[in-house]
Amino acid sequence: MSYNLKELNIHNSKLITLRKMNKQELQVVALKNGTVIDHIPTDKLFTVVNLLGLQNSDSNITIGNNFESKKLGKKGIIKVADRFFSDEEISRLSVVAPNVKLNIIRNYEVVEKKEVIMPDVVKGIIKCGNPKCITNNEPMTTIFHVVDKTSGLLKCHYCEKEQNKETLKLQ
């Protein structure tokens, strides 16, 4: 981890000061309560938005991309006010963005950090890459078994084909 809770809080409070100082320069507002989703690979940003259903959310949302990152070079970041995601929602991200970090913020302070945990079974998030798979031809939920957690190798529960991580499509 390149940062700790304290640094983040300083960052958050700096933003508040910034806001007070110069409204025109400010790009990202600090959160009072909510979740910051950090370290999103830039090409996966909108996939993460989709997976969490943020396009249909009423919350105050800030989406940023191509921010500088020591780890990734460039990264995406999402701030969602007054939303706290369940473990199930977070585990959905495991398939596309396993290294994403979530910071839970209450009263301008990071109170908790969450990492994405790869589940053993992925249900109804991704589409099977095999066009002859029953899941692509029936109105039904897909199920994948995670064969290898580190490489994120998945196997379709139905047609038993292993999935290429690079070409995964969402259901």
**Quick check: 127 binds another protein (CB under 8 A)?**
no
Query: Which one of 29, 104, 130, 146 is in contact with another protein (CB under 8 A)?
Result: 130
- Shortest Cβ distance from residue 128 to another protein (Å)? 8
Q: Is 154 in the site for another protein (CB under 8 A)?
A: no
Closer by beta carbon to another protein, 35 or else 163:
163
State how far the Cα of 36 lies from the Cα of 102, in Å rounded to an integer.
6
> Which of the stretches 13-21, 76-84, 91-99, 128-136 binds another protein when contact is defined by CB under 8 A?
128-136
Judge contact between 145 and 76, C-beta under 8 A: no
- Burial class from Cβ neighbours inside 10 Å (0-12, 13-18, 19+) for residue 124 reads middle
Nearest-angstrom CA–CA distance, 124 and 121? 10
Given the structure tokens 């398939």, which residue do they identify? 95
Residue 156 in contact with another protein, rule: CB under 8 A: yes
Does 126 sit near another protein (CB under 8 A)?
A: no
Give residues with Cβ within 8 angstroms of 39, minimum separation 6.
69, 71, 72, 75, 77, 99, 100, 101
Tokens of 45: 């940003």
134 scored as a contact of another protein (CB under 8 A) = yes
Q: Is 139 a residue that touches another protein (CB under 8 A)?
A: yes
Question: If binding is defined by CB under 8 A, does position 52 make contact with another protein?
Answer: no
Stretch that binds another protein, among 18-26, 39-47, 106-114, 136-144 (CB under 8 A): 136-144
Cα–Cα distance between 135 and 159 in angstroms, integer?
8
Binding site for another protein (CB under 8 A): 130, 132-135, 137-140, 156-162
